[in-house]
Amino acid sequence: MAGAYYKYRNYQHDGGDAKVEVTRASMFDDRGFRRSTKVSHKVTGYLHGSSVSALTTNIRSMEAAYAVDGGNAGLYDESGAVTGYFLNSLLATVSGGVRVVSGPNFPYEPGTYTTYVPYEIVLEAEFPGIIGDDVMHFRETVELIGTGAEKWVLIPTLYGPPRRQIVNRQTPYRAVQSGSAVGFSSYPKPPGPLWPTAEHSDMRPEAKEGPVIVNGRLKEFGITWQYIFESATPLVGEPNVR
């Protein structure tokens, strides 16, 4: 593209000098949904200077420009308009903006550090993907306890072996519904109890786990829940799936 140039923040590469290699990688959560897209720009070229001293000054200027994350980056055409090779830092909310993950590196080649030197820079940005909901992880378990059968105990005697005694001809049906979930950008809402009228609501614990900080952004909001049930009739149900 004649007259095109690469630019990061306010730093503009020499026109036609930079070679840009773009790679894209889809990032999936443990449910198989595309959570985000990671885009990388590998920028290579030759930095020029009229002398060794001028070349050293230009190296320092490039290093200073790329020492700060969070700028827009991309290839611009001769009119100054952005091309398809563009990383918008404001839209890269997953990574907290565009990041300089490598460089500027200046691999020395014999005979180069005169009026030019090769350079290599890698920029990276992660953009939200198209997903069904904000839940990254969801797991629930339903544990059924008891069959309603009779209950017996062994009563010690003063002399001789213990005696078996039936204390209840029928016993309650019990169940525990518990699970965990992780939200990508906020706390997910736990599912309701499977058998609301049989729940011991006074025994309901619900816990939140603090999110983690990734690239300056809060992510992965975890919760756990548990419902305890007791009924005179069988409790029939399956765990929730999301």
* Closest listed residue to residue 122, CA positions, set 12, 190, 22: 22
> Average pLDDT for residues 139-145, to the nearest whole number?
94
- Asked if omega into 205 is within 30° of 0 (cis), the reply is no
> Average pLDDT for residues 70-98, to the nearest whole number?
87
* List of residues 6+ apart from 64 with CB closer than 8 A: none
What single-letter DSSP state applies at residue 97? S
Rg (CA), the chain: 32
Per CATH, the number for 5-128 is 2.40.30
At 86-107, the pLDDT tens digits run 999 988 887 888 999 998 998 8
What is the per-residue pLDDT for 60? 93
Domain boundaries, the chain: 5-128, 135-231
At 10-63, the pLDDT tens digits run 999 886 778 899 999 988 877 777 888 899 999 998 888 888 889 899 999 999
pTM (2 d.p.): 0.66
What is the per-residue pLDDT for 226? 96
Supply angle C-alpha 203, 207, 208, rounded to 5. 165
Going from the C-alpha of 84 to that of each of 22, 39, 74, 76, 202, the distances in angstroms are 10, 12, 8, 9, 57
What single-letter DSSP state applies at residue 113? B
What single-letter DSSP state applies at residue 196? G
pLDDT: which is higher, 29 or 236: 236
* CB-based burial, 217-240: b 16+ in 10 Å, e otherwise: eebbbbbebbbbbbbeeebeeeeb
Q: Inform me whether the pLDDT recorded for 140 exceeds 70.
A: yes
